[in-house]
Structure 1
Amino acid sequence: MPEPHPLIIPILEEVGFSGVAKLIHLKVDHALITALVEIWRPKTHTFHFPTGECTITLEDVALQLGLRVDGLPVIGPTLYDWEEMCSTYLGIMPVKGESLIGSMIKLKWLRENMLELPEEPSQEQLDAHCRSYILGLIGGVLMPDKTGNKVHLMYLSLLINLRRTRRYSWGSACLAMLYREMCRATNVSSKTMGGCASLLQSWA
C-alpha cells in the first residue's frame, strides 16, 4: 500500500490501524521467515530453539501492531452483492471476473482505483477512501493469504461503521491466521505462506 493520505491518518488512529500502516515500509527477510518456520512445531504452536520453546503471544501483537486483542470476533457474512457493497462503501465499482473474483477483490486493482480525495472532501468521501485503505492493509499486510494478491470482502462488512471497527479483535484474528499459515508452511510441499510475516519478523 502507498503512504496513507494525510486526511485519513486521524481516522486510522481512531480505528486502531495506524500501527499496521507503518509496516508498509518493512521489507520482509525471507531467509529469517524460512528459518523460523523450520523450527515451528504445529502440535504446540511454539518455536523450538536450542535454549527452549517460545511463541508469539497476543501481548506481542498488541505491543507491536497496536491492535486490539479482545472485543468482538472478526467474523462476517460471506454472501452479499459485492459489487453494490463496493460501490456504496468504497465509492468504486469492481468488474466481476476481472477485479472481483468471487467474494475477493484484487489488491492491485484496489490500490490503483481507490477513491481520490478532493481538497475538501466530505466525511462520506473520507470514510470511503479510508475503508479502501484499511481493506488493502488487511489483505496486503495484516492477514494476507498465500497468493498475497487478493483480499476477502467479508472484511468490508466490518468497516461499514468505522466507529465500530475498533471494537473488533483484529489482533487475535491476525495471530490466529499467522499460526495457521505457519502450520501449513511446515508441510514440505508448501512453497508459499500467508499471514502477517511483518509481525513474525518484528517479533523475531
Structure 2
Amino acid sequence: MDPRIEPYVRASGFYYLTQIGYTRSDHRLLQALVERWRLEFNTFHLRHGEMTVTLQDVAVLTGLPIDGKPVTGITDCDDWGHVCEDLLGVGPPAGNKIHACYLYLLRDLDDAGRYSWGAAALAHLYRALYKGSVLGERTSAGSHGFYSLLQVI
C-alpha cells in the first residue's frame, strides 16, 4: 500500500481488512455450510453441534469496526456508474455490476471509520446464507456475501 494513502485507509476503518490478503474460495465447503444453515437459530447444524458467526468473530478476523453508526443508505439507484464517477473520479468498466450503495458513506473517510462495517458484513453474510438455504442460490465466485469469512472461522 502506498504510504501516502495509508492514513486515509486507517481512518476509514478498513486498514486491517487490507492485510488479510487473497483467499481462494472452496466452493464445496461453502456449499456444505450453506446446506447446514438453520434459519430458526442462525446457526450451522453440524455433527458435533451448533456453530454460528458472531460480531466478535468478524471484528477479530477482519478488524472491521462493530461499534458505531449503522451502515444504511440508498440501495435503489438507476445510475451507479454516475455515482462512482462522482465519488471516485472514474466509473466501472462497461458491463460490470457493482454494489455502490455504501459509496455515499465513504465520501468523508474520517466519518466512514465511525460506522459499524463489521455488523454490515455479518448482516450481508446472513442474508446470503438465507438466500442459499431457502432460495437455493448456489455459492459461487459471483455470489454476494462475505463467504470468505466462513473459510477462516
State the TM-score bracket (shorter-chain normalisation). 0.7 to 0.9
Name the CA distance, whole Å, in 2 between partners of 1:92 and 1:25. Answer: 24
Deviates further, 183-192 or 65-74: 183-192
1:26-175 → structure 2 map (5 Å cutoff): 26-77=23-74, 78-79=76-77, 82=80, 85-93=83-91, 98-99=94-95, 106=96, 150-175=97-122
* Aligned partner of residue 69 in structure 1, secondary structure: coil
User: Could you tell me which of 9, 27, 33 is aligned with 1:12?
Assistant: 9
2:137 alignment counterpart: 190
Distance in 1 (alpha carbons) for counterparts of 2:40 and 2:125:
15
Q: How many residues align?
A: 149
For 1:155, give the aligned amino acid.
Y
Q: Aligned letter for 1:15?
A: S
Equivalent-residue separation in structure 2 for 1:187 and 1:91 (angstroms): 39
Q: RMSD of the TM alignment (CA)?
A: 2.3
Distance 1:19 1:83, change over 3 A: same
Deviation, 1:201, is 0.8
Range that drifts further, 30-39 or 182-191: 182-191
Give the aligned partner of residue 123 of structure 2: 176
The residue identity in structure 1 corresponding to 2:84 is C
Give the superposition deviation at 1:79: 4.6
**Structure 2: 5+ residue stretches without partners:** none
Q: Once the two structures are aligned, what percentage of the paired residues are identical?
A: 42
Match of 1:199 among 128, 149, 153: 149
For 1:66, give the aligned amino acid. G
Q: Which amino acid aligns with 1:64?
A: L
**Which sections of structure 1, spanning at least 5 residues, go unmatched?**
100-105, 107-149
- Give, in whole Å, the separation in 2 of the partners of 1:188 and 1:152: 21
